[in-house]
Structure 1
């Protein structure tokens, strides 16, 4: 009874306390009691323009003009496009962009097929080819249908009954990452001359698997974080390659260089194919995608549109610390913050000096940036091409150039998503976002043709109707769409009638690019012969030799191919030598090792060449180390010592006894001068730093320099570690040495 009374008293006390506390709290009335400032007066809405008005708002480089190719209501929110063999455009519609930040639903994404039925150069018919897509971001034509990137999947969709709508819809791969803002997913599917699609995976990565694999055929997932994929469409197989960038990827005519862009850096170059590095698991490599724009994220832009009020307000609030985020130097615009859709112009309608130049959409600044490329060692530098004004800039704030396409007519098409807000709503402070409609413009969208003045439009050729032999001739066509489509159709058809004309083209075409494309098509038909490779390895055009080296890797067991490959380690062209350094990893034997040594002596000072050489060391680590140590000149150079140290580290990590024994023998052959003594110490440190078992083997050596070096290292390190006269850095180094030797 007493306990019950106590509990009642306690409960009553709690209730009274709760009433007293809550009675002191203010009533929840956001209209009258909120202390948050009202920014509505600073955030006026910007009205959209009609397609024709927006066209008039553009300022282009002298000699060029824009034309409307498609606009709402025919399309909405265009995100990506590809052309089939009949010149029809398949356009990704993405009304879902920023829909999560809006109260107005706009439906799911779709792929529309656009046709120009009257041949006037403007699409006039749209058919919904595929709908009910949850955030599609990429499309590519294949085998009478389309591949669709719609994270987490890659689909194949095809119309088999002729009604214009896909009745086949298969998921082939799954596992691609997704993000709420929708700006980092897979994108920009591109056909390559080696008969595969290049699939950039954006920032979201993923663990990719075949969607329809059984337990018996299931393979290990491919992690694509920071990597791209190569998709072979006939067998529907994939493998990882080097990647990077956010949204946009383009290849040059030769497919030797891939370009991507980041949000704030307009041009990155993919420096190597990651498949080469995968051969050597002990090789540490830098990221493949490197910035090649001299000013990088500090590249100044010449914007014509008024800065949106929300950008001005956000910068002010960030600068004051009222909301999180960088104030970006206190400037609301005029720099890259929305670089996207990087594309190499590869058409034939523009003046020839524009071929091979880069175009990047800057959606936040309503403009298109142009860069010209210059060789820089084995890489490139992308310089601003327009010093006084952007190639294309608009005064229309809604102009959002998200992607580009090299068109059948030889011009460049610009996909304008046309939105009031292109910033991901997830990145806007709530006190700003609540005054905006994040998805305004989801029902709009335009595609523009950028053409030189005097351009006369001609309807696209119906390449799908051509016999295979005529497709082969198109490899000499000056327009990329013709060449790429012909390449894809030849691989698609697998028509053996193409073999003879392809061999003829590879041997005699006056176009070096056509010669290379013929070789890859022969490979795709399983008809490439070693003799064709040998001829190409001796071609006067360096880019042909570069491709021939890649193709030679499949013929590494052929003596005549080997004999033609080895001299290219001493080629006059550095890019050829760079490829040779990678390719030699496919060839075994002392001659290949000596060729790598020759490359190390000539080009080892270049860090990218050094990477390529080390990728090819593979199982011949000990032999390659011995080869380098026998060259006194290499031992003297900083790059030679760095390469020797890298190989010693690989030997330590691999922990192969034969390599270890070879290492000890070579160490004993070094001279006793100060430089060689220092080098020997460095090599031992690199070797033993990798794992305890190596240290045990080394400390168990019965004699020679290795044992002497370890004893001296320990003695000197003990002295240095306890010497108060030494600097902190020197003492820390000594402690690390002791840890290594123990």
Structure 2
């Protein structure tokens, strides 16, 4: 009883001890007007601040700027609120990316020694890096990944001089070589609620345990591009600049598969509302309104869910994403309806934050230790990579005419504050005893909760396990919203310490808060995967739970279990939720994920019917067609003689989205020269075979040898039937000239390009 009262009193104290002092007077700046003709001129941090527009009551404060930092792209705080800044010093130093691959970038360590919100102490923590992409603080270590590699190193400062003197490789895949455009490489390394670190692009997630990275494969791959974040309950949010998609991948955790809805946000959500003309766009005039403002997301990056406690409460839980081409930050309201998550712009044809400074380039956002919102501004003229700035391009002409290439070597970090904001005592988690860290698991600022959980796990202190177990089941009739969050973090901390047992999970399954019940199901998965029938029976009691989130998680967690009791529960959930869009789509996503697991990503992502056609065609091709075309479609040469039939790999006849050419060739054969070369054999007609047989062969050769297509490579039997009916009197093999003439009739010139 004493321990219970002690934990409760310490949690209450935690909510009070960090609030304090007199609010800082706010100087109201005049609202910037729309700028129809911005220049590329450099603005000082003070002048740039005056160009910013935010909602009434919100203000920007400068945290750090050049020369302390240059070209910042990402930040991370350790448990004592020291800030690490990843700086890409070679990124687009001119429009041709000269010297971009030189290993001279760095990570700086910044500190606010007097707690006034502005960094006043700095050191170069690590130098001679190649464009650092991902950073994550774990205890006294900093995990770092650089461009063009999957290697992750741990760095540590053991003598306290602000410079790393200890380096350790914690993960590598030496066979992996990535020379892709650097905009299309991984980012993130976000330590999520479930103690896994997630990233974009690469189909893996990491768990840092005892100084090494445990790796888990995501069957259907990851998502997103630059930036990754999570909410209070471990829901991940991605974005894709290349796909011009400001948010995606947030319906289910990627470990279960991929699920997006066409209406998870409305079409107008993708429109952006700058306060300056934005001529320097990759998409050219089609991406510009008549007033030369960007009309659509084209560079969405650096998203976050605001989880702090020092800005108005109506911002908590909102989604924020930067658009550095528009010089704006979007704020979206997140809504959960029947388990399905949707987003909507918080403002009507306006943005949460916008600037008329042409060099304002926001690339990341974060909830900070002080409960405010932080913005990383790369502050530069060019934001697009060299693939898009080639000489003669629309964008290059704008860069040259505006002199944008001259603006390099700058960078700012801001924090968004609000009228009457409170100044907090800085955290000292790296030094606090473990029992004090427990009190932060219920802190109103999500940054504190996350880092207390992470620090307890990294420390591996088993002495707090009894107190964690008490906290995990502690409920009161009237409690603050943070109470259930404390229980959720306590449960995941126990999981991270390998101290979670079935009894704890069983109690959490009956928690009065739906999100705790959902968490308990998620935590039950190790037992479900071991086919533990008693655990399946316990989670099965929630099959009719009032919460859609609970039932969705139950379906996600039970699906992979091979225990006899699991399948009936899955069937019950599916049958009982046929009108719930989220439940139906989740089951489809799980089925697709399982197909990918069985057949590989490309084949597994097709429908079952299309996949059957292709597999049937593969069997026929290998027993019949391969004798002339070769088993790999590269053609055959025997004893130095000419190939009997043309190779299929790289064939122009298989590249078109229009399928009719492939169907005609399989139906009636092909004669004459192919790509200017004569072959001794004429491909015979296969028209005596059924429509299904023709469709399967055409499907396989399009799938295996046809390259990429905007649609499925599969050919339907009804498509074969239609072509067959249009040539009933044909008895001769086609020539390429005839086929190409038919192709021109059926495919508009614009579509065939």
TM-score of the superposed pair, with normalisation by structure 1: 0.70
- Mapped contact 1:406–1:413 kept (Cα < 8 A): yes
1:537–1:545: 8 Å Cα contact kept in structure 2? yes
| Offset, 1:110 | 0.6
- 1:450, 1:66 → 2: CA distance? 5
Q: CA deviation at 1:461?
A: 1.8
Q: Could you tell me which residue of structure 2 aligns to residue 422 of structure 1?
A: 383
Residues 270-305 of structure 1: CA distance to partner in whole angstroms, max 9, x if unpaired? Answer: 33334345xxxxxxxxx4456666344873222112
Distance 2:610 2:128 in 1: 57
1:438 Cα deviation from its structure 2 partner: 5.9
- CA distance in structure 2 between the aligned counterparts of 1:578 and 1:178, rounded to whole angstroms: 37
Task: Note closer, same or farther for the CA distance 1:693–1:437 as it changes in structure 2 (3 Å cut).
Answer: closer
Contact 1:603–1:610 (CA under 8 A) maintained in structure 2: yes
Contact 1:266/1:296 (8 A) holds in 2: no
Task: Please show how residues 473-622 of structure 1 align to structure 2 within 5 Å.
Answer: 473-509=439-475, 510=479, 511-556=483-528, 557-604=531-578, 609-610=583-584, 612-613=586-587
Unaligned runs of 5+ in 2: 1-36, 601-606, 621-689, 695-714, 725-753
- 1:381-427 Cα offsets, whole Å, 9 max, x none, are 11010115311111111111100121110001000110122222321
Q: Which of 566-575 and 326-335 deviates more?
A: 326-335
1:682-697 equivalences under 5 Å are none
Work out the CA distance in 2 between the residues paired with 1:653 and 1:189: 28
Tell me the distance in 1 between the aligned counterparts of 2:209 and 2:404. Answer: 38
Alpha-carbon shift at residue 457 of structure 1 (Å): 2.4
Cα offset for 1:92? 0.5
Counterpart selection for 2:205 from 229, 251, 255 = 229
1:647-726 mapped onto 2 (5 Å cutoff): none
**Displacement of 1:365:** 1.1
- CA contact under 8 A between 1:307 and 1:333: conserved in structure 2? yes
Q: CA 1:68–1:616 in 2, change beyond 3 Å: closer, same or farther?
A: closer
- Cα pair 1:101 1:426 within 8 Å, conserved: no
Aligned pair 1:90/2:56, yes or no?
Answer: no
1:123 lines up with 2:101 in the alignment: no
Q: Is the 8 A contact 1:475 1:517 kept in 2?
A: yes
Shift in Å, 1:718: 9.0
Aligned to 1:240: 217
**In the alignment, is the contact (CA less than 8 A) between 1:373 and 1:382 conserved in 2?**
yes
Contact 1:408 1:482 in 2 (8 A): yes
| Distance in 2 (alpha carbons) for counterparts of 1:398 and 1:443 | 12
- Aligned residue for 2:410, secondary structure, equals coil
Q: Which residue of 2 aligns with 1:139?
A: 135
CA contact (8 A) 2:287 2:295 kept: no
1:504 to 1:248, Cα distance in 2 relative to 1, 3 A:
same
1:262 to 197, 216, 241: 241
**Most deviating of 388-397 and 398-407:** 388-397
**Measured at CA, do residues 327 and 365 of structure 1 come closer, stay the same or move farther in structure 2, by a change above 3 Å?**
closer
Q: How does 1:297-312 map to 2 (within 5 A)?
A: 299-308=270-279, 310-311=280-281
Cα deviation code 1:26-59 (max 9, x no counterpart): xxxxxxxxxxxxxxxxx99621110011111111
Answer yes or no: is 1:193 the counterpart of 2:193. Answer: yes
How do residues 396-415 of structure 1 correspond to structure 2 at under 5 angstroms?
396-415=357-376
Residue 443 of structure 1: aligned partner: 409
What is the DSSP-based 3-state SS (H/G/I as helix, E as strand, rest coil) of the residue aligned with 1:576?
helix
Quote the Cα distance in structure 2 between the aligned partners of 1:77 and 1:347: 26
| CA–CA distance in structure 2, aligned partners of residues 425 and 477 of structure 1 | 44
Counterparts in 2 of 1:692 and 1:425: CA distance versus 1, 3 Å: closer
Kindly indicate whether residue 73 of structure 2 is the aligned counterpart of residue 76 of structure 1: no
8 A contact 1:138–1:149 mirrored in 2:
yes
Q: Is the 8 A contact 2:533 2:565 kept in 1?
A: no
Whether the 8 Å contact between 1:244 and 1:289 is mirrored in structure 2 is no
Where 2:41 maps in the other structure, the secondary structure is coil
What secondary structure does 2:565 align onto?
Answer: helix
Are the aligned partners of 2:509 and 2:520 in contact in 1 as well (CA < 8 Å)?
yes
**Do 1:76 and 1:95's aligned partners in 2 also have CA atoms closer than 8 Å?**
yes
- 1:48 match: 42
Distance 2:559 2:49 in 1: 53
Count, aligned residues: 572
What SS does the aligned partner of 1:430 have? coil
Rate the CA distance shift 1:110–1:459 in 2: closer, same or farther, 3 A.
farther
What corresponds to 2:52 in structure 1? 58
The aligned residue for residue 419 of structure 2 is 453
8 Å CA contact 2:339, 2:582 repeated in 1: yes
Work out whether 1:371 is the aligned partner of 2:332.
yes
Q: 1:391 to 1:483 in 2, by over 3 A?
A: same
State the match for 2:3 in structure 1.
Answer: none
Question: Is contact 2:373–2:415 with CA below 8 Å preserved after alignment?
Answer: yes
SS in 2 for 1:555: helix
Alpha-carbon distance, 1:81 to partner: 0.3
- Richer in helix (by share): 1
Partner of 2:500, secondary structure, is coil
| Contact 2:71–2:411 (CA under 8 A) maintained in structure 1 | yes
Q: Which residue of the partner structure matches residue 271 of structure 1? A: 251
Q: Tell me how far 1:360 sits from its aligned partner.
A: 0.9
Deviations 1:285-338 (A, max 9, x none): xx4456666344873222112334x55xx87xx66xxxxxx6668766232111
**Does residue 1:342 correspond to 2:303, yes or no?**
yes
Q: CA deviation at 1:135?
A: 1.0
The CA distance in 1 between the partners of 2:402 and 2:375, in whole Å, is: 26
Distance 1:718 1:147 in 2: 57
Distance in 2 (CA, whole Å) between partners of 1:274 and 1:103 is: 34
Asked if structure 2 preserves the Cα contact closer than 8 Å seen for 1:112 and 1:127, the reply is yes
Contact preservation (8 Å) 1:90, 1:112: yes
TM-score by length of 2: 0.69
Cα deviation for residue 90 of structure 1 reads 0.3
Write the deviation string for residues 183-223 of structure 1: whole angstroms up to 9, x where unpaired.
Answer: 2222122112222322223xxxxxxxxxxxxxxxxxxxxxx
Deviations 1:215-251 (A, max 9, x none): xxxxxxxxx3xx3523334331111335211111110
Other-structure match for 2:341: 380
Structure 1 residues 343-373: Cα deviation after superposition (integer angstroms, max 9, x where no partner): 1001010121111101111100111111001
User: What stretches of structure 1 of length at least 5 have no aligned partner?
Assistant: 1-42, 202-223, 278-286, 320-325, 619-645, 655-682, 697-716, 722-727, 738-742
